[in-house]
Amino acid sequence: MSVIYNRVALIGLGLIASSMVHAMRRRGLAREIVGTARSPETRQIARLDGLCDRVTDTAAEAVKDADLVVLCVPVGAMGAVAAEIAPHLKPGATVSDVGSVKRAVIDAVAPLIPEGVHFIPAHPLAGTEHSGPRSGFAELYDNRWCLLVPVEGTDPAATARLRALWEGMGANVEEMDADHHDLVLAVTSHVPHLIAYTMVGVADDLRRVTDSEVVKYSAAGFRDFTRIAASDPTMWRDVFLNNKDATLEILGRFTEELFALQRAIRTGEGEELFDYFTRTRAIRRGIIEAGQDTDAPDFGRGGSK
């Protein structure tokens, strides 16, 4: 594959940025990758590992002459970083981000972007519970979605170029409106994380009662929750504070359903529980049959009744 951007600057060098570096290098998508991070320790690690072609001490230095600048910091820090880099952006450059929330990031960043610079928000739907400059890997975006959320009046050629970069990094790209994005992600990612955090918190409270049994006998379902609940606290604090309305909307619906199930258990409504679980099982099977869950093991497909 050929070079898509001459110079790419990554602000913040954690899981998402370091995975971008590896994925861009795999296909030679950028001639030069410049990176910077707020903490001196992260910059030091990035330099030691040769993560980027150059690591600068400030974001202002990193974006100098960059054709693409990607903000890879927690959602709550996007505005401050945009303010810092705005005066140093090259005319004609593209600024993008990878934040898990889109409306709040657009509101914070768009007004700071100078005329003549394109702003194209993005969100790769891929991650792990790990963070930091050593957590990235080239395959993270393979066969994952990356949603582009262009604001009104965005230059189609600049959007097409960013799309080509994400496709080059292995992702499938679609465009989506910001509010719709935030609602969909509240359902598919944000509230599920909140539920995992809560369940692990409950288990931790119980541990005082049952000693270490919660850890010792933790079954696969709970282990999956602990993986999710190990995700970065700063990132997730910022997600919930910046996607408040959609999170509360979905959480409201979730608690209504939970109360209905709670009642069915208390009153012994076995049929209601069976029908509910049958419906949810069909959803999982539908996802697998549509080939949308590349992680799903093949066992029992169409087998169990």
Ligand X SMILES: O=C(O)C(=O)C[C@]1(C(=O)O)C=C[C@@H](O)C=C1
Ligand Y SMILES: NC(=O)c1ccc[n+]([C@@H]2O[C@H](COP(=O)([O-])OP(=O)(O)OC[C@H]3O[C@@H](n4cnc5c(N)ncnc54)[C@H](O)[C@@H]3O)[C@@H](O)[C@H]2O)c1
Residue numbers of the site for ligand Y (CB under 6 A)?
12-17, 37-39, 42, 72-75, 77, 81, 98-100, 124, 127, 131-132, 232, 235, 239
Burial of 239 (C-beta count, 10 Å sphere; 0-12/13-18/19+): buried
Is 176 an interacting residue with respect to ligand X (CB under 6 A)?
Answer: no
* 81 within 8 A of 59, measured Cβ to Cβ: yes
* 178 within 8 A of 121, measured Cβ to Cβ: yes
Whose Cβ is closer to ligand Y: residue 178's or residue 214's?
A: 178
* 98 within 8 A of 72, measured Cβ to Cβ: yes
Whose Cβ is closer to ligand X: residue 189's or residue 218's?
A: 189
Q: Which range binds ligand X by CB under 6 A, 19-27, 104-112, 124-132, 242-250? A: 124-132
Q: Output the smallest distance, CB 153 to ligand Y, in A.
A: 24
Is 128 an interacting residue with respect to ligand X (CB under 6 A)?
Answer: yes
Whose Cβ is closer to ligand X: residue 56's or residue 131's?
A: 131
Is 127 an interacting residue with respect to ligand X (CB under 6 A)?
Answer: yes
Number of residues forming the site for ligand X (CB under 6 A): 7
State which of residues 94, 100, 154, 242 lies at the interface with ligand X (CB under 6 A).
100
* Tokens encoding 76: 């709550």
Of 190, 229, 235, 182, residue with least CA distance to 74: 235
Q: Output the smallest distance, CB 64 to ligand Y, in A.
A: 18
| Cα–Cα dist 74/132, whole Å | 12
| Cα–Cα dist 27/29, whole Å | 6
Q: Output the smallest distance, CB 217 to ligand X, in A.
A: 24
Residue in the structure block whose two tokens are 């409201």 = 252
State which of residues 110, 125, 184, 199 lies at the interface with ligand X (CB under 6 A).
125
Distance of CA 9 to the CA centre of its chain: 19
* Binding interface with ligand X (CB under 6 A): 100, 125-129, 189
